[in-house]
Amino acid sequence: MAREAERARRGLELAQARLREAVRDGVFEDWSIALVEVLAWTRGIHEWLVLHSPAYMASVDPATNDLLEGIKWARNRGVHQLAATSDATTGLSFPLTFPIAFAPRWLASTAITPGNPDKSGLAGYEATLAGSSFPGRLYEAVEFVIRGALLYGSPPA
């Protein structure tokens, strides 16, 4: 595997582990930070593979492409606007039960701080992530690009 793909794959795996831990612990600030890392690494690996491997690009079906486009839009909001793309709401209901659970969700695109007018990937975000429970299909995309890096991460000689 190319050194760049290996480094990025490792970065993604470490970020994903931090995200899983933060979500498990219910620490939203830590989870928000790790989420931006996971989004950035996922899209970065995908974009690198698109440039370096026609075989990888051929493996991206339309549903996966929509998901990866949605991740691009979420990444751009998190990186360029410093906007949160997910939130945790307390799962209060009556009668109250303890411990009180939180229900993490991807925010609707209209609930994310407006900023950059670039709509690239917005349709994919709305179709695959917006409003769904967290992490939703995020880890599916992570596994797809990790598998892609392992299978196609060595550019042709």
DSSP line for 63-124 = HHHHHHHHHHHHHHHHHHS----EEEEE---SS--SSPPEEEEEPPGGGSPP-----TTHHH
**pLDDT tens for residues 101-133?**
556 788 888 888 776 677 889 999 999 999 888
State pTM to two decimals: 0.85
- The Cβ of residue 28 has, within 10 Å, a number of other Cβ atoms equal to 17
**pLDDT tens for residues 60-98?**
999 999 999 999 999 988 887 777 777 765 444 445 455
Spatial separation of the C-alpha atoms in residues 131 and 53, rounded to whole Å = 33
